[in-house]
């Protein structure tokens, strides 16, 4: 006899930061696995393009407005998603932001804004979703972390401490939720091509990358794709009940070395 009842075949899911990048790719991956998905982001028109793509492929998806920096917006998003799809089984916290800057040169309000999006926004979702998961004794919460947590990089003034706080919160949640049937997991991307860099000052970006090389962080030019991270998220939530993938770090494979002529 199994120790746990299996997952429902269709698991209503919500994905934040779903208008592009990792969030959009994750929504697509979950829909391809048969789960109805609510896509949350400030850019609703962009999210709707992703949702339309999912529906055209036979999946179930809707785009809803979401600002993780606003309590009312989060509550309305979760309520609308639950009404449309059913009680949330999967929460993927993917919303984030990054401005390249040395710590001492970043305005404190900008620092707080980035911490608010990357960390406090994730907690807003947790407080709105997880109590109901605990009451139903099942659910998956996946936080998109970053490999800057074990290996902080220069030039990422607020992003590094925000993601460190996010992963610390996830680890604490995992211990607090033990025995409830709810799993809290981290998917930790390495260097990834994403929209985080959109709008960055070119010179600030080049300076940051040069500093990365100095400290040994740019070993090769290959970056992950958003779909690579989405595949990891889909793997985490598809693990059968009784199995908990607590931390999955995803790194890009290096280009193949040149081989000497035979």
Nearest to 96 by CA among 168, 182, 30, 156: 156
pLDDT per position in the chain (262 positions), as tens?
678 999 999 999 999 999 999 999 999 999 999 999 999 999 999 999 999 999 999 999 999 999 999 999 999 999 999 999 999 999 999 988 777 788 898 889 989 999 999 999 999 999 999 999 999 999 999 999 999 999 898 888 899 999 999 999 999 999 999 999 999 999 999 888 776 655 555 666 666 667 667 766 777 777 899 999 999 999 999 999 999 999 999 999 988 988 876 5
Residues near 236 by beta carbon (within 8 Å), at least 6 away in sequence = 140, 142, 185, 187, 245, 248
Where do the domains of the chain lie? Answer: 13-250
pTM of the model: 0.92
CA–CA distance, 200 with 101 (Å, rounded to integer): 10
CA–CA distance, 129 with 139 (Å, rounded to integer): 10
77, 111, 143, 159: the catalytic one is: 159
Residues near 56 by beta carbon (within 8 Å), at least 6 away in sequence = none
CA–CA distance, 15 with 30 (Å, rounded to integer): 9
Q: Return the structure tokens found at 126.
A: 């947790």
In the annotation, is 222 catalytic?
A: no
Looking up tokens 């030019």 gives: 221
One of 3.40.50.720, 3.40.50.2300, 3.40.50.970, 3.30.300.30 is the CATH number of 13-250, namely 3.40.50.720
């Amino acid at each position: 006899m199994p120790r746990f009842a299996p997952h429902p075949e269709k698991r209503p899911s919500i994905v934040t930061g779903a208008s592009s990048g990792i969030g959009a790719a994750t929504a697509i991956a979950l829909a391809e696995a048969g789960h109805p998905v609510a896509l949350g982001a400030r850019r609703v028109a962009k999210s709707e393009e992703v949702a339309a793509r999912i529906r055209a492929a036979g999946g179930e998806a809707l785009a809803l407005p979401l600002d993780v920096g606003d309590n009312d917006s989060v509550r309305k998003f979760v309520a609308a998603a639950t009404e449309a799809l059913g009680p949330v089984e999967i929460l993927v916290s993917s919303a984030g932001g990054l401005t390249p800057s040395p710590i001492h040169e970043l305005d404190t309000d900008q620092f707080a804004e980035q911490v608010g999006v990357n960390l406090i926004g994730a907690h807003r979702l947790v407080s709105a979703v997880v109590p109901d998961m605990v009451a139903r004794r099942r659910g998956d919460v996946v936080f998109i972390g970053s490999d800057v947590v074990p290996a902080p990089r220069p030039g990422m003034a607020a992003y590094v401490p925000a993601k460190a706080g996010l992963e610390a919160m996830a680890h604490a949640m995992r211990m607090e939720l033990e025995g409830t049937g709810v799993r809290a997991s981290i998917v930790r991307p390495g260097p990834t091509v994403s929209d985080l860099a959109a709008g960055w000052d070119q010179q600030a970006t080049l300076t940051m990358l040069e500093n990365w090389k100095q400290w040994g962080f740019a070993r090769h030019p290959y970056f992950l794709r958003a779909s690579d991270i989405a595949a990891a998220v889909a793997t985490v939530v598809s693990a059968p009940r009784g199995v908990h993938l607590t931390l999955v770090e995803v790194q890009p494979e290096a280009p193949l070395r040149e081989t000497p002529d035979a």
